[in-house]
Amino acid sequence: MDRDEILLDAEERMEKAVSVFQGQLQGLRTGRATPGLVDSIRVEYYGSPTPLKQLANISVPEPQQILIRPFDAGVVSDIVKAIQSSDAGLAPNSDGRLIRLNVPPLSTERRREMSTRANKFAEEARVSIRNIRRDANKHADQAEKSKTLSEDERDSVKDEVQDLTKKYESQVNEHAAAKEKDIMDE
């Protein structure tokens, strides 16, 4: 791998790690209803686990309520089962065509739990970014051994990879802090 390939690969993988982290944060409850709370719940549909957002229209008609309108009325009971077995902590109310989820306000203890989960997700994202840095540094060392990079170029690549690491770790920290503030504020 040459210098540009190493840097481009590292940057793409770090961006992906941050976007996965953001997706995880969307699934965490705050005091308000958002479609992100149930988007990623997997429903057993014709024998395969399918994301809820592919099976239904999800809307938020009120700040404390999520409305799920399945495209196929026959899947309502499967969606109800999937929501009940998920860790979303929501109780679905179904009338046979629609599913309503009332999002109760979080207790202080539950807020701390959610905050801890957000921090756990953030740490996983930071570890992932550091692993990507390690891989990029390894590629730089291998490129220097195979004489495609000079020693100075290798050091320069490692410095740029470190800069990317700092940049993406700070993004993770910002998202985590914003989510924690969102969770802890009522």
Q: Which DSSP state fits 37?
A: G
Which tops the pLDDT comparison, 86 or 87? 86
Q: How far apart are CA 59 and CA 45, in angstroms?
A: 21
Contact 32/63 with Cβ under 8 angstroms? Answer: yes
Structure tokens at 87: 């860790």
Which tops the pLDDT comparison, 132 or 31? 132
Average pLDDT (80-100) is 85
Q: How far apart are CA 128 and CA 156, in angstroms?
A: 22
Q: How far apart are CA 180 and CA 89, in angstroms?
A: 18
User: According to the model, what pLDDT value does residue 1 have?
Assistant: 80
Whole-structure pTM value = 0.74
- Quick: pLDDT tens for 92-123: 888 888 999 888 877 888 888 888 989 999 99
Which tops the pLDDT comparison, 159 or 23? 159
Q: What percentage of residues in the chain have a pLDDT greater than 90?
A: 42
User: According to the model, what pLDDT value does residue 186 have?
Assistant: 58
- What are the residue ranges spanned by the domains of the chain? 3-26+107-184, 35-102
Structure tokens at 64: 């404390």
- Quick: pLDDT tens for 126-156: 999 999 999 999 999 999 999 898 999 999 9
pLDDT, mean over the chain = 88
Which tops the pLDDT comparison, 62 or 162? 162
Give the CATH class of 3-26+107-184. mainly alpha
Instruction: State residue 48 phi and psi, 5-degree precision.
Output: -130, 140
Label residues 10-21 b or e (16+ Cβ within 10 Å = b).
Answer: bbebbeebbeeb
Structure tokens at 141: 């060392």
User: According to the model, what pLDDT value does residue 161 have?
Assistant: 94
Domain 35-102 sits in CATH at 3.30.1360.40
